Amino acid sequence: MTSYDVIIIGAGPAGLTAAYELMSSGKKTLLLEKKPQVGGLAETKVFGKHRYDIGPHRFFTKNKEVYDLFLKILGDDAVEVKRKTRILFKNSYFDYPLTPLNALFGLGIFESIAIVFSYFVARLKSYLKMSKITNFEEWVIDKFGAKLFNNFFKNYTEKVWGIDCKDIGKDWAAQRIKGLSLSTAIKFALFPNSKKRPKTLVDMFYYPKLGAGMLWEKFEEEIKSKNINVVKNAEVINIDDADEVITLEYLSDGDIKKVYCEHVLFSNPLLDFINFYKDELPNDVIDAASKLEYRNHISVHITIDKKLFDDNWIYIHSPELKMARIADFTNFSKDMSIEGNYPLTLEYFCFEDDEIWNSDKNDIVDFAISELKQIFKEEFQVVHTDITKNPKAYPVIRTGYEENLNILREWLSKKKNLTAIGRSGMFKYNNQDHAMATGLYAVRNLLGKGNFDPWEVNVDGEYHEEIRSA
């Protein structure tokens, strides 16, 4: 009988950080990863000599412990990158984070006047308490006006999430958009030396020189050197915690392996995990779970012989294009260039029943290349292509999801030997550093070194501004 003190499901940022924290504890630990490579959504895909990130990842954190751990693991392989990101909309480029004055001037005089007028109408309604704010759309309109919302928020948000902005919770908006007003932006444009200028998104960030996944590959090397058992291509198929000791079964190399442990930390999708307990779930948990959903993600990887842009990444707001975002990883690190060529990742968001998700690989690649040519209108040679399909990549923040998630959390809280960590496990839109913190705090609780609440990680949204002063 093979037994462990702790089994971790999922070798993404949360799972790997948890394993790292367990290294010196004396706890016998098994880390199971379904895919052939660690890193989760932050992995770097390797196709022969070609390297691509699944999507653009910047490392920035206000958590000193997480920051120090990042630099400790990477050492000299951490590259400091100057941030450059823009929005493509109506064949024009706009600053990102969005600079309201840049938006006004870029859209032309008449549209600009309409935006300013719309903004003052919204502020008047807010002042007179005529605004009812229950969702993302109403929150943004209240802060910036209907015109700016329709131009810069609506199309992209609905492209990413696949639902109407009216169906996205207002709390999501408050977290992801720092509450600046158009009048504030104009004020600081006219008086740039004001000491009260609001904070913006960081202009610099760190990046591993061989892709975001390099960090997690180094984590894997570190924990394996300390006798943490890491098994990849391992799919968990059953969990039984009827006794004090948990019985877990996973599929590896065509064989079913049975192991035992005292505690499970899981970062695989929450809905997938609770499905192991479907026979014992009360009706309210089943009902709540049925109302939660994930958004799938497709990364189209294309290496070309020509540099098309200098941005780290570009948000594609243009509604006529299905592409949501494009990144050139040589603009993160020169070491990502292969023989003078340029590795790009083009991102598409979808649900499982969408046509693009179920399309043939070559058809998806051809479609992505056609959109790339539509955007840049330049000739280039394609050197290499591939795709990565990422099911259940993003929890959908639909209005009312918190109530349903809380029902699942309440059920999970009664399972004293089960702990959710990470974005997927907690059904929470966490960045890399947030996911790392949840793994770190969960282990400390397990070891009796603190009383942390991983669910409180990333609740202030302090550095998620999407609007800034000019």
| pLDDT digit string, tens, across residues 295-315 | 999 999 999 999 999 999 999
Residue 179: which pLDDT band, with cuts at 50, 70 and 90? Answer: very low
Predicted confidence at residue 183, as pLDDT, reads: 54
Q: CA 453 to CA 438: how far, in whole Å?
A: 8
pLDDT tens profile 63-121 = 999 999 999 999 999 999 999 999 998 888 888 766 666 766 777 777 778 888 888 88
Per-residue pLDDT at 129: 77
User: Can you give the pTM of this predicted structure?
Assistant: 0.90
The 3-class secondary structure across 169-204, one letter per residue, is EHHHHHHHCCCCCHHHHHHHHHCCCCCCCCCCCCCE
Q: Give me the residues paired with residue 9 across strands.
A: 32, 266
Lowest mean pLDDT among 114-118, 165-169, 194-198: 194-198
The helix or strand, by DSSP H or E, that contains position 14, with its residue range, turns out to be helix 13-22
Q: What is the pLDDT of residue 444?
A: 96
Q: Which tens digits make up the pLDDT trace of 381-426?
A: 999 999 999 999 999 999 989 999 999 999 999 999 999 999 999 9
Weakest mean pLDDT among 163-177, 274-288, 438-452: 163-177
Cα–Cα distance for residue pair 391/397, rounded to 1 Å: 16
Contact present, 419 and 442 (Cβ < 8 Å): yes
Counted residue by residue, the chain has a size of 470
Model pLDDT, residue 107:
75
In the chain, what are the helix, strand and coil shares in percent, each to the nearest 5?
Answer: 40, 25, 35
More confident residue, 469 or 76: 76
Higher pLDDT, 37 or 469: 37
pLDDT for 297 equals 97
For residue 249, what pLDDT is reported?
97
pLDDT score, position 268: 95
Taking residues 318-324, what's their average pLDDT? 95
Q: What does the block give as tokens for 289?
A: 């779970």
Amino acid at 53: D
CA dist 192 → 177, 182, 195, 346, 469 (Å): 22, 15, 9, 36, 9
Residue 182 reports pLDDT greater than 90: no
* pLDDT greater than 60 at residue 192: no
**Residues 11 and 232 sit within 8 Å (Cβ to Cβ):** yes
Instruction: Report whether the peptide linkage leading into residue 56 is cis, meaning its omega lies within 30 degrees of zero.
Output: no
Average pLDDT over residues 325-354: 96
CA distance 297 to 212: 17
Query: Largest Cα–Cα distance of the chain, in whole Å?
Result: 74
Q: Compute the distance between CA of residue 283 and CA of residue 286 in angstroms, rounded to an integer.
A: 5
Confidence band (pLDDT; 50, 70, 90) for 427? very high
As given in the structure block, the two tokens for residue 295 are: 């958004």
Structure tokens at 185: 């932006």
Percent of the chain with pLDDT over 90: 71
Q: What is residue 312's three-state secondary structure?
A: coil
Q: Report d(CA 271, CA 294) in Å as an integer.
A: 9
Q: Are 276 and 19 in contact (CB under 8 A)?
A: no
Q: Is the pLDDT assigned to residue 181 strictly greater than 60?
A: no
Q: Looking at residue 41, what is its pLDDT?
A: 94
Tell me: pLDDT of 197 over 50. no
Task: Grade residue 44 by pLDDT with cuts at 50, 70 and 90.
Answer: very high
pLDDT at 281 over 90: yes
What angle (nearest 5°) sits at the alpha carbon of residue 295, between those of residues 289 and 300? Answer: 155
**CA gap 50, 343 in Å, rounded:** 8
pLDDT at 461: 47
Provide the residue type at 462 as one letter: E
Q: By the 8 A CB rule, do 59 and 70 touch?
A: yes
Structure-block tokens of residue 448: 């009796």
- What's the pLDDT score for residue 198? 44
Q: Note the pLDDT of residue 329.
A: 97
Which domains occur in the chain, in start order? 2-39+63-68+209-288+397-456 (3.50.50.60), 98-190 (no CATH)
Radius of gyration of the chain (CA): 23
Mean pLDDT throughout 179-186? 50
Question: What is the chain's mean pLDDT, rounded?
Answer: 89
Q: Is pLDDT at 214 greater than 80 in this prediction?
A: yes
